[in-house]
Amino acid sequence: MAQNIEKHLKECKDQINLNKSLQRLYKNRDFKAVVVEQFLKKEAVRCVTAKAMRAMQPKELQESLDKRITAIGEFSEFLRAIPMLASLAEQDIREAEELPELEDGDEYEVED
């Protein structure tokens, strides 16, 4: 059981570090220009606008635009989830720090 807790705490720390990396990226002017402004905002608007254009009505083009819109949304959601998951990881670490130390061989009881 203690190994599971240690593994979970390492995963929590990894999630927190991932969020720190993301926050550094958001401070980077090039990241904001290319990813946030161009891809997540302007490309999304361009794709949605293109769906209504007469030249973009063939099924293959509509499907391609749908895939691009979905990819933008999925990536945006991925970026939004990182800080939320880091916050939960921080909470898990705080709770684990409040657990009493176990003697060798003891395990925490798990309630069903």
3-state secondary structure of 19: helix
3-state secondary structure of 95: helix
The pLDDT assigned to 82 comes to 98
Hey, what are 78's tokens?
A: 């991925």
Extents of the domains making up the chain: 29-96
What are the pLDDT digits (tens) for 8-65?
999 999 999 999 999 999 999 999 999 999 999 999 999 999 999 999 999 999 999 9
Name residue, tokens 């945006």: 76
Name the band, by pLDDT with cuts 50, 70 and 90, for residue 103. low
Q: Does position 105 have pLDDT exceeding 70, yes or no?
A: no
| Sequence-ordered list of residues with C-beta below 8 angstroms from that of 35, at least 6 positions apart, any chain | 25
Higher-scoring residue by pLDDT: 101, 56: 56
Name the band, by pLDDT with cuts 50, 70 and 90, for residue 98. confident
User: Quick one: which of 34, 38, 44, 81 has its CA closest to 66?
Assistant: 44
Neighbours of 15 (CB within 10 A): 21
CA 85/CA 106 separation, integer angstroms? 30
Beta carbons of 75 and 43 less than 8 angstroms apart? no
Hey, what are 19's tokens?
A: 């969020």
